């Protein structure tokens, strides 16, 4: 009896004390919950950026939490929103953009947040290919771009040398790539080339580079009624080329998503088309001379290729019934910090993601980063080399992760010879359109 009373007293005392500290704490700082989906080492680097913000002022405390991969983070944020506990800020991969935009009252568009809190955000400061991906139809920024990447080619200079290819002249067109891959194979390289993120690198990027639509309605920017366009003869020919090269043993399908990434730094594959974010890993792991080059193009389809599109993620502001104006102000302060060119440039130079602001790019140039790291400028240059068209702004398709998977599945069947390139892409369009129609139905007011 005595012990029970003692316990009750101490519990009450503890609760009281916790309540006081909590209150005192809240008076000092506004807490912002921030969920992200970057595993180590990138997650740690991101948390360093957050720490930089926390240390730069004494009014706001941002708490970063790792929530698993991008799809897992998305799932967690959605579940939290449904339970009325959404985090203030969530990092969302680029293919989740349409889903977030359709979330309506669940999110607060960044342009609205910034103007309501009087913080201001200069949309023109951002690289157009980055800005476009996260803007509404009328050009308003809906999310804050942060870690963006794009696809580039990495190639093994030692292997090129061995095959009698010029290590300082990477292939610029697809016919040249095919030629180089065959020569590499003849020289005994077991895996001349591969690619990761199959749908992103072989369809989304290839479409943008050649100014060909991936989907109708300006790649979905024009409305929810978009349909896929990838069974066009251009894409069929492209897939057929990949299948032919694979049959000859000049190309290896490395698996879904980023499964192929490890094939390049290990020295297994001599060329890879992958995210520019792979750079950090190659620097650390590769025991051979390597180079970076822009993506190849089809000269019979376009005289000079357009800008590529981005990958990576952006930061979204989520709403909750409990949100206060002070909390939104705190989020705006955090975002203003992230938009600073020096923060952007440092993140870019530390990680291999592209700079998202034009000034950040300039700053990295000025600091001599590209002289010290040849090839590191390739992604940003490829992203900015032309003005964006409606085919190079990015994709705005509902449930794009599902569509990416469908295309991977159909490609895998074609690579096994179970169906032709035309059948594969016809099937992908048919199945993908079903997904788009379901999304349209579920998101019609």
Partner 1 sequence: MQRRVIFDNRALPYLLLAPQVAVTLIFFIWPAAQALWQSVHLQDAFGLRSQFVGLENFQAVLSDPNYLETVKTTIVFSASVTLLSLASALGLAVLADAKIRAAAAYKTLLIWPYALAPAVAAVLWMFIFNPDIGILGRALNNLGYAWDYRLNDGQALTMVILAASWKQVSYNFIFFLAGLQAIPRSVLEAASIDGAGAVRRFWTITFPLLSPTTFFLLVVNIVYAFFETFGTIHALTHGGPGKATETLIFRVYQDGVVNHDLGGSSAQSVILMVIVIALTAIQFRFVERKVHYS
Binding string to partner 1 for residues 65 to 94, with x set by CB under 8 A, is what?
------x---x--x--xx------------
Out of 42, 90, 206, 263, the residue judged to bind partner 1 by CB under 8 A: 263
253 sits near partner 1 (criterion: CB under 8 A): yes
402 sits near partner 1 (criterion: CB under 8 A): yes
Q: Which residues contact 302 (CB under 8 A, 6 or more apart)?
A: 209, 210, 211
CB of 334 to partner 1, least distance (A): 23
335 sits near partner 1 (criterion: CB under 8 A): no
Q: Which residues contact 137 (CB under 8 A, 6 or more apart)?
A: 221, 222
Out of 89, 170, 408, 421, the residue judged to bind partner 1 by CB under 8 A: 408
Out of 103, 218, 286, 301, the residue judged to bind partner 1 by CB under 8 A: 103
405 sits near partner 1 (criterion: CB under 8 A): yes
Choice between 106 and 187, CB closer to partner 1? 106
287 sits near partner 1 (criterion: CB under 8 A): no
Neighbours of 291 (CB within 10 A): 17
The encoded tokens of residue 419 equal 């169906």
CB of 434 to partner 1, least distance (A): 8
Tell me how far apart the alpha carbons of residues 405 and 338 are, in angstroms, rounded to a whole number: 32
DSSP H helices, 57-187, are: 70-82, 97-101, 110-116, 128-133, 157-162, 174-186
DSSP H helices, 255-338, are: 279-285, 325-338
433 sits near partner 1 (criterion: CB under 8 A): no
Compute φ and ψ for 54, nearest 5 degrees.
-60, -40
412 sits near partner 1 (criterion: CB under 8 A): yes
Q: What is the DSSP letter of 389?
A: -
437 sits near partner 1 (criterion: CB under 8 A): no
The encoded tokens of residue 281 equal 């890993």
CB of 182 to partner 1, least distance (A): 19
Q: Which residues contact 415 (CB under 8 A, 6 or more apart)?
A: 242, 243, 246, 253
Out of 106, 218, 301, 302, the residue judged to bind partner 1 by CB under 8 A: 106
Alpha carbon distance, N-terminus to C-terminus of the chain? 60
440 sits near partner 1 (criterion: CB under 8 A): no
Choice between 263 and 314, CB closer to partner 1? 263
Compute φ and ψ for 46, nearest 5 degrees.
-65, -40
CB of 61 to partner 1, least distance (A): 27
- Strands (E) across 16-85 are located at 30-36, 60-66
Binding string to partner 1 for residues 26 to 65, with x set by CB under 8 A, is what?
----------------------------------------
Choice between 243 and 364, CB closer to partner 1? 243
Q: Give me the torsion for CA of 114, 115, 119, 121, rounded to 10°.
A: 60
Out of 104, 120, 233, 374, the residue judged to bind partner 1 by CB under 8 A: 104
Out of 31, 266, 285, 371, the residue judged to bind partner 1 by CB under 8 A: 266
225 sits near partner 1 (criterion: CB under 8 A): no
CB of 204 to partner 1, least distance (A): 18
- Burial letters 254-264, b for 16+ CB under 10 A, else e: bbbbeebbbbb
Q: Which of 145, 85, 63 is nearest to 347 (CA)?
A: 145
426 sits near partner 1 (criterion: CB under 8 A): no
Q: Is 197 left (phi over 0), alpha (psi -120 to 50) or beta?
A: left
Binding site for partner 1 (CB under 8 A): 71, 75, 78, 81-82, 99, 102-106, 253-256, 259, 262-263, 266, 268, 399, 401-402, 405, 408-410, 412-413, 415-416, 418, 431, 435, 438, 441-445
């Amino acid at each position: 009896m005595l012990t029970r009373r003692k316990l009750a007293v101490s519990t009450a005392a503890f609760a009281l004390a916790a309540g006081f500290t909590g209150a005192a704490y809240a008076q000092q700082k506004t807490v912002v919950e921030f969920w992200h989906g970057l595993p180590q080492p990138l997650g740690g680097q991101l948390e360093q950026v957050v720490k930089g913000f926390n240390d730069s002022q004494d009014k706001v405390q941002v708490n970063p939490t790792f929530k698993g991969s991008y799809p897992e983070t998305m799932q967690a944020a959605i579940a939290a929103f449904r339970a009325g506990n959404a985090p203030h800020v969530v990092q969302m991969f680029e293919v989740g953009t349409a889903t977030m935009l359709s979330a309506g009252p669940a999110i607060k568009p960044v342009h609205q947040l910034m103007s309501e809190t009087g913080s201001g955000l200069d949309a023109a400061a951002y690289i157009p290919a980055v800005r476009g991906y996260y803007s509404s139809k009328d050009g308003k920024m809906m999310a804050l771009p942060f870690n963006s990447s794009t696809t580039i080619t990495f190639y093994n200079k030692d292997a090129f040398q061995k095959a009698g290819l010029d290590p300082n002249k990477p292939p610029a067109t697809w016919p040249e790539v095919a030629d180089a891959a065959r020569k590499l194979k003849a020289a005994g390289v077991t895996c001349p080339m591969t690619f990761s993120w199959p749908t992103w690198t072989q369809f989304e990027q290839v479409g943008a580079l050649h100014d060909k639509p991936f989907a109708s309605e300006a790649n979905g920017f024009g409305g929810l009624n978009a349909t896929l366009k990838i069974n066009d003869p251009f894409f069929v020919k492209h897939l057929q080329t990949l299948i032919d090269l694979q049959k000859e043993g000049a190309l290896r399908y490395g698996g879904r998503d980023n499964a192929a990434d490890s094939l390049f730094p290990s020295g297994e594959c001599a060329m890879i088309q992958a995210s520019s974010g792979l750079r950090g890993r190659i620097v650390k792991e590769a025991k051979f001379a390597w180079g970076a080059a822009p993506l190849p193009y089809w000269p019979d389809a376009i005289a000079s290729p357009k800008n590529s599109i981005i990958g990576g993620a952006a930061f979204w502001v989520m709403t909750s019934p409990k949100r206060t104006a002070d909390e939104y102000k705190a989020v705006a302060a955090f975002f203003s910090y992230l938009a600073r060119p020096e923060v952007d440039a440092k993140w870019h130079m530390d990680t291999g993601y592209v700079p998202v602001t034009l000034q950040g790019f300039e700053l990295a140039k000025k600091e001599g980063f590209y002289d010290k790291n040849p090839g590191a400028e390739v992604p940003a240059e490829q992203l900015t080399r032309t003005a964006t068209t409606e085919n190079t702004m990015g994709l705005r398709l509902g449930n794009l992760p599902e569509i990416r998977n469908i295309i991977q599945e159909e490609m895998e069947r074609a690579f096994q010879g179970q169906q032709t390139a035309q059948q594969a892409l016809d099937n992908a369009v048919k199945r993908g359109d079903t997904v788009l129609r379901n999304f349209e139905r579920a998101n019609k007011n």
